[in-house]
Amino acid sequence: MFVPVCYGQGHYTTQHGLKIGLDGKVINNKTRKPVGKATIQLVGTSQKTKSDSTGTFRLANVGKGHKKLKITAKGYKTDIEKINRGKDMNLYITIRLIPKKSG
């Protein structure tokens, strides 16, 4: 069955009105500045995306229930975030990455 998806402001909507996406922003925990080129992966799947220069990212078709995201970026500690997405709920999350200590 073909289900067209419309991309809106911060969410994905199917023809049945179900929101199925995960949107967010990756920022530096200390400076609160955006972290570009961070990889955000849905743990246990091959589904992943990268944040843009503003730290913004989108993952489509996340599915409902408890999930884990693995976030990696050069110069930052790897982060694992737990999310719980409801059946008809879009999520927006802010991920705060901790810089690695230099030296």
CATH (domain of 61) = 2.60.40.1120
Residue 82: CA atoms inside 13 Å, Cβ hemisphere, count?
A: 1
pLDDT digits (tens, 9 = 90+) for 67-102: 999 999 999 999 999 998 776 667 889 999 999 987
Question: Range of 71's domain?
Answer: 5-97
Specify if 102 maps to a domain: no
Q: What is the pLDDT of residue 95?
A: 97
Is 63 part of any domain?
Answer: yes
- Residue-wise pLDDT for 1-30, tens only, equals 333 333 333 334 444 445 468 899 999 999
| Alpha-carbon distance values, 102 to 34, 35, 38, 66, 79 (Å) | 19, 17, 19, 34, 18
Q: How many folded domains does the chain comprise?
A: 1
Q: 41-65, pLDDT tens digit by residue?
A: 999 999 999 999 999 999 988 888 8
Which pTM value belongs to this model?
0.78
Q: Tell me whether residue 103 is in a domain.
A: no
How far is CA 18 from each of CA 60, 67, 76, rounded to the nearest angstrom?
12, 18, 35
Nearest to 14 by CA among 65, 82, 63, 81: 63
